[in-house]
Amino acid sequence: MKACIVLIFIIVGTTAKVHIDTTINKQDTVITFKQYYPSGSVKSKRVVKNGNPHDEQVEYYENGMVKSSIFYDGGCPKDTAKRYFSDGTRWQISTYNNCREQGQRIIWSQEKDTVSFGYYTNGLPTGLHQEWYAKNRPKSFITYNSSGQKHGLSRTWRENGTLQDSSIYESGIRIEEYATFFNGSPRLHLRLRPGDTYSIVSGTTWSPAKKKSGVISGGSGSIVRYFENPDTLFEETWLNGVQISSIMRVAGVIVRREEHYANGALRLLLDYADGAVVDASAYPPDFSDSDLDMTEVREGNGRLIEYSMDGKKRWLREFRAGREVATRELKPGEEPVPREN
């Protein structure tokens, strides 16, 4: 049995057509779609067999040139998928096997320069993957292992040609990072503890003026970490590979402060606006031992019970309109009287 259906849609005042041809037999239902531009030229041809893409799927530009072509078998892409620019020049090729991308993927620019090249194995990126802004203008070189994880040296460049960052990975975990400012001068060089990207073993940071802004050795030290926008920076203190404090400044004004316990757990968090505390929270070593309602500041008002880094001492800190108005050390076992609103 064969049925032919023509549907007319009105789209923004113009007429576009979709032609649907359905073939049904004892085993299969095959539907062929043809979509047209308002001008009447074919926009796409698609085949669906038993609900899955099947055979060649083609898209066209309005000028009649092929935009993309890919073959399917039972819903799985196979062989080579191709994409083209509107003038017919190559845009991209990808190869597939057993439903997964397998082999090389290449992307070209309209100037016919290769702008991306890499291999895939069972759908995963493997080996060296390279991207370029244009001919002889690298964008990124990233190396993957057989599991599709970053492994080895990976680098990215800015459009102005300066190296943006260079990192070394082990099975998807970054163990060393080097980054620069927009002009290419060094910004930071950090070595990280294998398996823990948040633990710095050693490193150096620089200011936009090309001067050292901090050093970490043996997991301990202080650094000032600048970003692409040098108006934003973090002042960090590290102890035995753990960040114990961090102050974020924008245009020289503090906007956030964090303090941590020796194990890295958050101890104190304060957010600022125009130099005043807006919101703050203090965290005890064991959350179940404290009433968290009494350790919060909201909209500049409230009280904090701050613990020392070893958890043995406590201070009661009171804030009004974003300013700290009172601080005192609590005696062992002392619980502060709840503040009246």
The pLDDT of residue 23: 79
Asked whether residue 195 carries a pLDDT value surpassing 60, the answer given is yes
pLDDT tens digit sequence for 294-312:
478 999 999 999 999 998 9
Q: Decide: 305 and 295 in contact? Cβ < 8 Å.
A: yes
pLDDT tens digit sequence for 306-336:
999 998 999 999 999 999 999 999 998 888 7
Task: Name beta bridge partners: 55.
Answer: 72
pLDDT tens digit sequence for 100-123:
999 999 999 999 999 999 999 999
Domain ranges of the chain: 1-64, 252-341
Q: Decide: 59 and 47 in contact? Cβ < 8 Å.
A: no
Q: How confident is the model at residue 17 (pLDDT cuts 50, 70, 90)?
A: confident
